[in-house]
Amino acid sequence: MSEHISKQFDAELEAARARVLLMAGLVEEQFTDAMDVLSTNDADLIAKVHHNEQRVNALQLEIDDACMHIIARRQPAASDLRMVLTINKAINDLERIGDKATKITNRAQKLYESGRINLPRFPELRHLADLALAMLRKSLDGFARLDPTVSVEVARADQQVDDEYRALQRQLITFMMEDPRTISTSLDIIEIAKAIERVGDHAKNISEYVIYLVKGKDVRHSDLETLEREARG
């Protein structure tokens, strides 16, 4: 009987983890589609982003409910409890990434509707998005494989995203100073860039949760040296 219960518990944990990866796939799709909306204003893609937003929100509630039931029924301890807590934290970050994708889509629509879609610094925006997407994929790969070492690569990439976001922000501020007619468009672009930068932050959070899951160490707010020591130690 004890072995049977243990197998059921393992199956419940694995099912919850699989749902996280399903949610992650939808969020990744949302973000990719949002960036494509920025360059195409495709109505079908806009509808798809908003539809996936609803699916992501529903999955968050579903997985959160499953985690609460696991805790209530199974009273997990040690690594099993860390798995439940990691799942719960990860889905919150994934949901917020979905929110950022929706925000990018809405800003893109606003730019097209106002006839201001001649985007300054669009290649830089696209590059920033590619970096953030790579961070997200690496973090999710680390979660899927229970590999904490990817967090070091993700943290380094996050520094690059932050640096490039600040550089883009400075460029756009200069752009506005030189030509006040571009202020409205540039402010929208800065908002889009900030949303992309936040996607990177959430991806970094997910990679840090994997260290907590595997090593039992909370590395939030740690410097890169500490993170590397805990991930590889």
pLDDT in tens, 177-202: 998 888 888 899 999 999 999 999 99
- The structure's pTM equals 0.93
- Options 1.20.58.220, 3.90.79.10, 1.25.40.10, 1.10.630.10; which CATH number does 2-232 get? 1.20.58.220
Asked if 90 contacts 213 with a C-beta cutoff of 8 angstroms, the reply is no
Residue, of 186 and 60, whose pLDDT is higher: 60
Name the maximum alpha-carbon separation found in the chain: 75
- Both tokens of 100, joined, read 């950022």
Q: What digits encode the pLDDT tens for the residues 16-58?
A: 999 999 999 999 999 999 999 988 889 999 999 999 999 999 9
User: Would you list the domain boundaries of the chain?
Assistant: 2-232
Assign 114 to helix, strand or coil.
Answer: coil
Pick from 148, 138, 145: nearest CA to 214: 148
- Both tokens of 77, joined, read 């301890």
